[in-house]
């Protein structure tokens, strides 16, 4: 599997999970609005909130740089929707020793 495929299966869902948690808890943003911001369905947001994701994603999410997540969540909450892609790119450049297959392809 190529690095970007691994990132799509492991890293990006972990970033989404972290952003959803931050947007929901810190900014009290509704699921429908979060789904619009992240470009995913409301059902997917609900799935993340109900913790319906793999252990691998949870493990990677726990290792993400909270400063990056908080910074980009703040931008997203203020209406800067393009910050989602920037956050994913920033996180992907910092992935190292996360225990995901993507880190080993760098």
Give the pLDDT score at 6: 74
Domain containing residue 69: 3-95
**Looking up tokens 């947007």, which residue turns up?**
23
Q: Model confidence at 98, in pLDDT bands (50, 70, 90)?
A: low
The structure's pTM equals 0.84
**Looking up tokens 């980009």, which residue turns up?**
72
- Rounded CA separation 43/54 (Å): 16
- 79 against 4, higher pLDDT: 79
Q: Is residue 85 part of a domain?
A: yes
Q: Is residue 56 part of a domain?
A: yes
Q: How many residues does the chain have?
A: 106
| DSSP label at residue 104 | G
Q: Is residue 100 part of a domain?
A: no
Domain count, the chain: 1
Q: Is residue 101 part of a domain?
A: no
CA angle 89, 74, 5 (to 5 degrees): 25
CA angle 31, 27, 38 (to 5 degrees): 45
Q: Is residue 103 part of a domain?
A: no
Q: Is residue 102 part of a domain?
A: no
Q: Is residue 39 part of a domain?
A: yes
Q: Quick: pLDDT tens for 11-62.
A: 899 999 999 999 999 999 999 999 999 999 999 999 999 998 889 899 989 9
Give the pLDDT score at 106: 46
């Amino acid at each position: 599997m190529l690095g970007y495929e691994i990132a799509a299966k492991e890293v990006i869902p972990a970033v989404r999970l972290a952003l959803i948690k931050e947007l929901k808890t810190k900014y009290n943003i509704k699921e429908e609005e979060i789904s619009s911001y992240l470009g995913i369905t409301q059902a997917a947001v609900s799935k993340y909130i109900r913790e319906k994701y793999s252990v691998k994603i949870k493990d990677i999410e726990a290792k993400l740089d909270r400063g990056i997540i908080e910074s980009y969540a703040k931008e997203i909450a203020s209406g800067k929707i393009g910050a989602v892609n920037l956050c994913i790119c920033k996180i992907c450049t910092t992935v190292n020793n996360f225990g995901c297959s993507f880190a080993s392809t760098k």
